C-alpha cells in the first residue's frame, strides 16, 4: 500500500445502495454494478470501492444482514470478472470478514476501527489493508480540526498495532464531509501536510461533497469542477489516494499534476 504514496492513485466509488447522496439506486443490482465497475476500471482506477450502506448525513442505518445482502453478490461477481482490486466500504466487522473472504483486499472504515470492536482483528486476520478515516458523532465548530484528527488517528493506530495490522497496510483519511463544518473541511484539505509525519499514504474523499457548494456563488462548486479543484489542492498538500465518482477526469488531471510536480522537483535537484 505504501507504493500509493509515490504517485496519485484513484479509488472508484461503487455504491450498491438505494440512498447514497449522489448515485443511490443506480447500481444496486449485480448487472448494473458490474457494468459500472468495468467502466471505472476502463477509465483507469486503481481500486474499486464497494459500499452497501450510505454514510451521508441523515442516512438510515442498515443491519449487517441487509448490508451483506447488498454487497455479497456484487463482490463475488466483481472478484471473478474485474481486473482491478476491490475495497469494501464498511464499518461492520461481519461485512468486512465476508468481503475479504470473497476477495476484497482493503477495508475502508469510515469510523477508523473505533466503532466495531472486532474490526481491527478481522482485518488483521484477513491480512487486508485498511483506510482509517476520521469521524465524529457530532460537529463541533470550536475544534482545531487537525488537532482533533491527529488525536483520532493516534487512537486508531494504537488499535491497529494491538491487533497486528502492519503499518504498511494502513492508509489515513481525514474524513472530508464527515462531522465537520465547511471551514473545517477546507482546513483539513489545506493543512493535510500536517498529517504526513506518520509516513502513511493519505486519502481524500471530497467527491461531490456538499461543503463544496458553500465555497462560491454560482452553484457549480459541488460538481466535477469543484471536486477536481479540491482534489488537486489535496494533492498539493500531500494526498496520494483519491476516492472519486468521476474516474477518467481525475486520472487525467492527477497525471498532469504529478508530471508537472515531478518536473519541478527534478529541476530543483539539478540546481
What does the pLDDT look like over 70-84, one tens digit per residue? 999 999 999 999 999
What does the pLDDT look like over 216-229, one tens digit per residue? 545 554 578 889 99
Give domain limits for the chain. Answer: 2-270
Q: How confident is the model at residue 209 (pLDDT cuts 50, 70, 90)?
A: confident
- Residues 250-265 have a mean pLDDT of 89
Catalytic annotation, residues: 209, 243
Q: How confident is the model at residue 18 (pLDDT cuts 50, 70, 90)?
A: confident
In CATH, what is the architecture of 2-270?
A: Alpha-Beta Barrel (3.20)
pLDDT in the model for residue 21: 46
- Residues 191-198 have a mean pLDDT of 97
**Closest listed residue to residue 64, CA positions, set 116, 14, 26, 108:** 116
Q: Report how far residue 109's alpha carbon sits from residue 132's, in angstroms, rounded to the nearest whole number.
A: 6
Q: Are 71 and 16 a contacting pair, CB within 8 Å?
A: yes
Q: Are 41 and 83 a contacting pair, CB within 8 Å?
A: yes
Q: Report how far residue 52's alpha carbon sits from residue 65's, in angstroms, rounded to the nearest whole number.
A: 11
Lowest mean pLDDT among 19-33, 73-87, 94-108: 19-33
**Closest listed residue to residue 244, CA positions, set 198, 192, 205:** 205
pLDDT in the model for residue 225: 87
Is 42 a residue whose pLDDT tops 60?
A: yes
What does the pLDDT look like over 106-165, one tens digit per residue? 999 999 999 999 999 999 999 999 999 999 999 999 999 999 999 999 999 999 999 999
- Residues 96-104 have a mean pLDDT of 98
Give whole-number Cα distances, 51 to 12, 32, 109, 259, in Å.
Answer: 11, 14, 10, 32
pLDDT in the model for residue 223: 73
pLDDT in the model for residue 60: 77
pLDDT in the model for residue 217: 47
Lowest mean pLDDT among 21-25, 54-58, 90-94: 21-25
Residues composing the chain: 271
What does the pLDDT look like over 224-246, one tens digit per residue? 888 999 999 999 999 999 999 99
Give whole-number Cα distances, 224 to 42, 77, 213, in Å.
Answer: 19, 29, 11
More confident residue, 267 or 167: 167
Q: Biggest alpha carbon distance in the chain? A: 60
Q: Are 119 and 108 a contacting pair, CB within 8 Å?
A: no
pLDDT in the model for residue 24: 46
pLDDT in the model for residue 208: 85
pLDDT in the model for residue 98: 98
- Residues 171-193 have a mean pLDDT of 96
Percent of the chain at pLDDT exceeding 90? 76
Amino acid at each position: 500500500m505504501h507504493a500509493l504514496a509515490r504517485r496519485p492513485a484513484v479509488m472508484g466509488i461503487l455504491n450498491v445502495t438505494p440512498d447514497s447522496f449522489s448515485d443511490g439506486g443506480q447500481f444496486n443490482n449485480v448487472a448494473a454494478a458490474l457494468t459500472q465497475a468495468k467502466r471505472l476500471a476502463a477509465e483507469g482506477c486503481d481500486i474499486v470501492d464497494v459500499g452497501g450502506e450510505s454514510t451521508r448525513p441523515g442516512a438510515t442505518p442498515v443491519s449487517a444482514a441487509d448490508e451483506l445482502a447488498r454487497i455479497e453478490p456484487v463482490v463475488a461477481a466483481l472478484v471473478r470478472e474485474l481486473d482491478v482490486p476491490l475495497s469494501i466500504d464498511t464499518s461492520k466487522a461481519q461485512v468486512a470478514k465476508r468481503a475479504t473472504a470473497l476477495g476484497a483486499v482493503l477495508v475502508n472504515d469510515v469510523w477508523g476501527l473505533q466503532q466495531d470492536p472486532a474490526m481491527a482483528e478481522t482485518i488483521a486476520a484477513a491480512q487486508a489493508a485498511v483506510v482509517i478515516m476520521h469521524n465524529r458523532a457530532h460537529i463541533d465548530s470550536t475544534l482545531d480540526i487537525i488537532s482533533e484528527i491527529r488525536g483520532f488517528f493516534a487512537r486508531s493506530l494504537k488499535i491497529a498495532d494491538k491487533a497486528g495490522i502492519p503499518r504498511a497496510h494502513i492508509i489515513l483519511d481525514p474524513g472530508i464531509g464527515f462531522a465537520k463544518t465547511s471551514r473545517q473541511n477546507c482546513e483539513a484539505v489545506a493543512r493535510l501536510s500536517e498529517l504526513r509525519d506518520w509516513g502513511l499514504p493519505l486519502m481524500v474523499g471530497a467527491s461531490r461533497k456538499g461543503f463544496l457548494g458553500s465555497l462560491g456563488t454560482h452553484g457549480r462548486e459541488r460538481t466535477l469542477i469543484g471536486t477536481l479543484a479540491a482534489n488537486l489542492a489535496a494533492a498539493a498538500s500531500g494526498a496520494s489516494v483519491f476516492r472519486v465518482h468521476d474516474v477518467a477526469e481525475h486520472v487525467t488531471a492527477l497525471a498532469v499534476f504529478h508530471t508537472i510536480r515531478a518536473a519541478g522537483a527534478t529541476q530543483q535537484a539539478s540546481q
